[in-house]
Structure 1
Amino acid sequence: MGKRTKVARYNRYIQFYKASETEWEYDSGGNLIPKMEPYKKRWCNKKDLVRANQESLESAADTASKFVRLTTRFTNVITENMQFEVDGQMFNVKMVGDADGLNIETVISGEATADGGRNES
């Protein structure tokens, strides 16, 4: 009998969205973007990461970005051109990968920009 690996328990049911190939809409800035359609729901664990980055050396404005890291059972259906919703806020998928290369768990990193991208201080 082989050694059993411990499988994590996932406590959040996260909705993922993919871009529509036929429907388009305008965002708040007037840009034409594909409409996001509900795709799959997955059980995940969530970790919040918050940091502020300076836009450039010449600019005093900071961008306040909220990063979220999700972990779920191994899957190939989540890609970088998707979005997900956590606590009523939409996040763009920035990275998807297998942390240990054993096809047990998938790590998904997402980013949402707060306050329209500007954090005035």
Structure 2
Amino acid sequence: MVKRPEHEHEDEQWIEGLTQEMKRVDQLFDDVPSPTLEGLHTLAVHTLERKRRRMKFELVLFLLIALFIVGGAMLAALSAPIILLFIHVFGMVAGGTILIFSKSLRSAGKKGIR
């Protein structure tokens, strides 16, 4: 396939336009200064402090929610101990029944033995 002269002219125009756009993009990114070492250090310190504060907040939130749940359970145990005892017995019986009748749970410890 031989290119005709009009296609060569279109290709040259396309390449020239692409080259101009690439130069324009290069000029846009040449003006962006790279951060200094002190700036990067400050950013790292700020990020670590923010992460530490977020972790402390999550810990306090976890403790408050845990306290609320435990307090609710204690209040329920004090106000209706028979119902709480029934729930515990039912949970133990259900867990034992599932363990006895589940083949996959019984054979879980035997996977390495043939």
TM-score bracket relative to the smaller structure? under 0.3
Tell me which protein shows more strand as a share of its residues. Answer: 1
Tell me which protein shows more helix as a share of its residues. Answer: 2
TM-score, L = length of structure 2: 0.13
Q: Bigger relative contact order, structure 1 or 2, given CA contacts below 8 A and separation 6+? A: 1
TM-score, L = length of structure 1: 0.13
Structure of higher CA gyration radius: 2
